Amino acid sequence: MQLVVARIGRAHGIKGEVTVEVRTDEPELRLGPGAVLATEPAGAGPLTIETGRVHSGRLLLRFEGVRDRTAAEALRNTLLIADVDPTELPEDPEEFYDHQLMDLDVVLADGTEIGRITEITHLPSQDLFIVERPDGSEVMIPFVEEIVTEIDLAEQRAVITPPPGLIDADQAVIASARDEEDEEGDGAGGDAASADGASADGKDA
């Protein structure tokens, strides 16, 4: 199967190098020298990676036949696509490829249906599942072990234990109102709410 592994950004320098937005957890494997990649639009490729290096935290690639800034700039926004064996698994058993996670059913520990994963967003701090609910609405679920407790590929499901308010906003409103009442009472509730908030931020990070 074909997977998007990077998007070409702006040209770097005058010798044909380009910056790339990496969209794979294994850039050394997918974007190493000698890799031949299909492209979108198709007319821009295929492209063979000649060299790669990291500069100021960004991956720079040079492709065979691309020798100057003009040719490099012409590739801007091109998607790089790799052929991947659908049965291939990451070396780390706790990691998964995007295509393995797409369309998994998302359920609570008691089996309650939440929705279906329709997109995975990769952020610098964490990955997010975009989950489509039965009513057509969407919810974002951080892919962290405190929230996503199990990925069962055999059963095609992801089991989650969401904190209050992550799935249903009204739960967050109720919890917030409760905290305010506690603060007006003796102040103890404020400390507990602050601790809960810090914990939630830690999980998301």
Rg (CA), the chain: 22
Give the C-alpha separation, 205 to 186, whole Å: 31
* Confidence at residue 177, expressed as pLDDT on a 0 to 100 scale: 41
What would the DSSP string read from start to end of 162-197?
PPTTSS-HHHHHHHHHHHHHHHHHTSHHHHHHHHHH
In 3-state terms, what secondary structure has residue 96?
coil
Mean pLDDT by 10 residues, the chain (205 residues): 86 94 80 92 93 90 95 95 72 73 92 92 82 91 92 91 78 41 40 27 32
Compute the Cα dihedral for 6, 8, 10, 16 and give only its sign: positive
DSSP 8-state symbol, 49: E
* Confidence at residue 141, expressed as pLDDT on a 0 to 100 scale: 93
* Confidence at residue 8, expressed as pLDDT on a 0 to 100 scale: 95
Tokens of 42: 């198709």
* Confidence at residue 150, expressed as pLDDT on a 0 to 100 scale: 92
